[in-house]
Structure 1
Amino acid sequence: MATPLHFVSSKVYPRLTGGRFNTLRVAFVVITQLLYFGLPWLNWDGQQATRFDFDSMRLYLFGLTLLPQDFIYLAAALIVAALGLFLWTMLAGRLWCGFSCPQTVYTEIMIWIERWVEGPPNQRRKRDAAPWGAEKVLRKGTTQLLMAAFSLWTGLTLVGYFTPMRELAANLGAGHIGVWEALFALSYGGFTWLLAGVLREQVCKHMCPYARFQGAMFDRDTLLVAYDDKRGEPRGARRKQHAIIPIAANVGRDDKPQGACVDCGLCVQVCPTGIDIREGLQYECIGCAACIDVCDEVMDKTGQARGLIRFSTQHAMEQQQPLPSLRQRPRALVYSGLLLAIVTLSTTGLALRVPFKVDILRDRAVMQRESNDGYIENVYNVRIMNTERDSRRYQLQVESAGLVRVEAPPLQVAGDSVTSFNVALVADPALLPSGSHTVSVRIVNLDDPSQVLHEEARLLMP
């Protein structure tokens, strides 16, 4: 028999289920979307709380302004995200995929839309297999229209993180949206519709790299959705009164001993990727726990204990022992220690960071010169960047005040702007020998004297 060159997957029609994990998934969908769609509308101290301004190369984050010079904090955030991914995957498998991943969240929303318009899975399956008619066109068209509208809304919201959201909404209402803004919104919205509305579980199974390399981060103590085959096998239909008889008590009876699994197939029907968790660990499993919810319902109905399918580890399932503690996992302790150190250092750096930047450069057009009173002047271009919203006054001070003095009044810089000044450092040639000298300059925010920067300047003496 010829080997197929590719595998064509049939569409998955996940069945709706209840339970505690389903409630948690819905809560994560609601929370993540409230944050995503709500943050661009939130103002903080008179301006949008979260915005990336590419024109001025600034990131506004709840009153904090970050500049390209603050790249170290972005690098720290990326390192924390990577280490957090490694730690979370090692501890809890793909819980991120099952509860918070944008692909999962948006796919869940698209399925809600589809279920609301076209009905439960069995009706959708029959309608898809039926020939095209007026009802099918109407329902399918309504579904795609609502999906496209939601996808476009996600695209416009993403643009609102780069363009002031209220300004974007006003321009959109007036029909004056920019070309790049429209292109960006349509591109992101189109990908949302394609990935979450059309491809769905195929993204998780075939396109997502995380599904492929997660196995390298798993160990035998990683928390996974697991089927207890020792308790569940051999599976088969049973009556409720048989379910309360222990398996050992069935030995010697005429009826064949059987496990707790009634082989109802509901765990497969509710799976968003269409796998059978009873076949063991599979990379397609996203850890959404829908099979746990539905299996617990079946166990309740058949009078058996819950947990035939549950979150557990390979070690715990094989040896029937409790989950290991963090202290028994050295790799987890190393990741946790690194995360704690980086987060502590980054937080401390942000707390001690002063909200202005200063560059002091020699004015190459002006050499050192002698003033009327016999002192030597060196002229510098001082560039001050004020990242706060309000205007600030700055004073330059020379730490070796007995040898060099600054001839400059307090320097006024408007809020969220950069201003350059010409400043002279004056020295007595009788106190400083000829040559090049390093002078320490102290820049003080006169409106908040606790904010101080230290810079160096090269002073030339004839």
Structure 2
Amino acid sequence: MSEKIAYRVIEVTPPAVNKSKSHSDGAIHTRSFTGLYRNLRIGFAGLLFALFFGTAWLNWNGRQAVLWDLAESKFHIFGTTFWPQDFILLSALLIICAFGLFAITVFAGRVWCGYSCPQSTWTWLYMWCEKISEGDRNQRIKLAAAPWSLEKIGRRTLKHTLWLAIAVMTGLTFVGYFTPIRPLAAELFTLQLGGVALFWVLFFTGATYLNAGFLREAVCMHMCPYARFQAVMFDKDTLAVAYDPARGESRGPRKKGSDPRAQNLGDCIDCTLCVQVCPTGIDIREGLQMACIGCAACIDACDEVMDKMGYARGLIGYKSEHTLQGGVTHWLRPRLLGYACALVVMIGALVLALQWRPMVSLDVIKDRGLFRENALGQIENIYLLKVINKTQQAQRYHLRLVDADGFELHGKTEFTIAAGEMSEMPVSVALLAERPTSSSQDLVFQVQDSDQAEVSSTARSRFVAPLNR
């Protein structure tokens, strides 16, 4: 096998250089196609769109179901409210997602990029808008090369109108996960939106319009770091979209029904359809390339040609290097098993952390003043307590000191906090003894659910007193 087509060769084929795809407007015009992997991609895209655009409009217990309330520093996910104190759980979730991506890459290459990445998904949606407004590939090429006319202006206007509409909805929905989306949408469409919210809606609208409409493959090739380190994660058993040169070479046209071996030809008829459907403008027959996002569009196009020619499918397919070299793919291997075990452990730990997460939180802040003497002549310290009810129902709590003989708590000890709210209350602690045994002593505050004793939280602080007075 020559070095040019070896599976592990990493090449970059800029779309503008690819003669099969570069045209007068410098854009990549993809051809329409059908097939199994296209249907899978549409299914994943539909699920992604439904989750992204639909979840923001769901309500739960009278509020938005999923909302990162920056003003209140609360993150609502359906029946659970997370606070800044729970940030470690979000960090754990992001780490799990990263390890999941690594495991998927080791197993099947860049399937995330090809099927579920928002950049790829929105790009395919924008390409569909191009098709319905400007026609299929050949029509778009002709339109790009044609002089400006009313028809060209009309088609381009329709395309950019669709692009902008999608971009506005995307920007609105994204910001709607941080600002309640119903009033946000009402203010936007009545032209009353202003300030920071308007800035971010316009920012994400512009980012969507630019990335999916114009940058497209440049984001995958030059801006996304995943393309840069994917090759480090591949091994000889990783499944990736690949062309089988042993079967396909030598390439060349032939009549249907003819024997390619009699003409010293392989199964590849050199129709270039695999190039014409590629969203990043590469020729998969040149080997594994950094610009390949694993979308399998070339597989669908090639399989359709193989069916028409009466050849077996799979000239282009998900293959490992071992398979291309005539060997067998090893499914269970140390690296993949290691990632799988790490994922199971981390997911299990996250589930347990969520299950054991205390549903009430207590923070104690000591007043800056060291101490004071109250009306009874006792030494007192002042504290500010912050109690958070993390449940979705109003709860009644009891506050007390734990193992604090010789100290007395003054202030509100019975109180109710609404669902998902925080309450701040000042309290004081008085030293009952005339002389303290130490100038600084530990105190443990405990807040406990009045109806469920097992639901409680504790926090430590210090009590300061003069040894001589």
State TM-score, norm by structure 2: 0.86
Instruction: Write the letter of the residue equivalent to 2:270.
Output: D
Instruction: Write the letter of the residue equivalent to 2:403.
Output: S
What's the offset of the Cα at 1:16? 1.0
2:285 is aligned, of 253, 278, 302, to: 278
Q: What is aligned with 1:325?
A: 331
For 1:343-354, what aligned pairs fall within 5 Å after superposition? 343-354=347-358
Q: Is the 8 A contact 1:220 1:315 kept in 2?
A: yes
Q: What is aligned with 2:301?
A: 294
Q: Is 2:401 the partner of 1:395?
A: no
What's the offset of the Cα at 1:377? 5.7
Q: What is aligned with 1:60?
A: 76
Instruction: Write the letter of the residue equivalent to 2:114.
Output: G
Identity rate of aligned residues, in percent? Answer: 42
For 1:175-214, what aligned pairs fall within 5 Å after superposition? 175-214=191-230
Could you give the per-residue CA deviations for residues 247-269 of structure 1, whole angstroms, max 9, x where no partner exists? 8xx5xxxx333222222221111
Q: Take 2:403 and 2:85, find their aligned partners in 1: how far apart are those partners?
A: 28
Q: Is the 8 A contact 1:386 1:413 kept in 2?
A: yes
Q: What is aligned with 1:119?
A: 135
What's the offset of the Cα at 1:176? 1.2
Could you give the per-residue CA deviations for residues 313-369 of structure 1, whole angstroms, max 9, x where no partner exists? 111211332x2123x2x2222222333322222222122112332122444547365
Q: Is 2:456 the partner of 1:440?
A: no
Q: What is aligned with 1:3?
A: none
Summarize the Cα distance change of 1:172–1:447 in structure 2 as closer, same or farther, 3 Å threshold: farther
Q: Is the 8 A contact 1:95 1:286 kept in 2?
A: yes
Q: Take 2:315 and 2:199, find their aligned partners in 1: how far apart are those partners?
A: 50
Q: What is aligned with 2:343?
A: 339
For structure 1, which runs of at least 5 residues remain unmatched after alignment? 1-5
Summarize the Cα distance change of 1:406–1:294 in structure 2 as closer, same or farther, 3 Å threshold: same
Q: Is the 8 A contact 2:406 2:433 kept in 1?
A: no
State TM-score, norm by structure 1: 0.88
Q: Is the 8 A contact 2:370 2:464 kept in 1?
A: no
Q: Is the 8 A contact 1:371 1:377 kept in 2?
A: no
Q: Is the 8 A contact 1:395 1:445 kept in 2?
A: yes
Q: What is aligned with 1:167?
A: 183
Q: Is the 8 A contact 2:106 2:336 kept in 1?
A: yes
For 1:190-269, what aligned pairs fall within 5 Å after superposition? 190-242=206-258, 255-269=262-276
Could you give the per-residue CA deviations for residues 364-421 of structure 1, whole angstroms, max 9, x where no partner exists? 547365886x987655332323344543222123332665554553133344433333
Instruction: Flag the structure with more relative contact order, 1 or 2, with Cα contacts below 8 A and sequence separation at least 6.
Output: 2
For 1:9-88, what aligned pairs fall within 5 Å after superposition? 9=17, 10=22, 11-88=27-104
Q: What is aligned with 2:8?
A: none
Query: How many residues are aligned here?
Result: 444
Could you give the per-residue CA deviations for residues 77-130 of structure 1, whole angstroms, max 9, x where no partner exists? 232233223222222211111111111111111111111111111111111111
Secondary structure of the 1:241 match is coil
Moved more, 223-232 or 164-173: 164-173
Moved more, 144-153 or 107-116: 144-153
Q: What is aligned with 1:137?
A: 153
Summarize the Cα distance change of 1:150–1:377 in structure 2 as closer, same or farther, 3 Å threshold: closer
Secondary structure of the 1:284 match is coil
Q: Is the 8 A contact 1:51 1:161 kept in 2?
A: yes
Backbone CA RMSD of aligned residues: 2.6
Q: Is the 8 A contact 1:59 1:65 kept in 2?
A: yes
Q: Take 1:370 and 1:157, find their aligned partners in 2: how far apart are those partners?
A: 55
Q: Is the 8 A contact 1:40 1:50 kept in 2?
A: yes
Q: Is the 8 A contact 1:383 1:418 kept in 2?
A: yes
Q: What is aligned with 1:109?
A: 125
Q: Is the 8 A contact 2:408 2:432 kept in 1?
A: no
For structure 2, which runs of at least 5 residues remain unmatched after alignment? 1-13
Q: Is 2:318 the partner of 1:311?
A: yes
Q: Take 1:205 and 1:48, find their aligned partners in 2: how far apart are those partners?
A: 37
Q: Is the 8 A contact 1:403 1:431 kept in 2?
A: no
What's the offset of the Cα at 1:226? 0.9
Q: Take 1:199 and 1:401, find their aligned partners in 2: how far apart are those partners?
A: 65
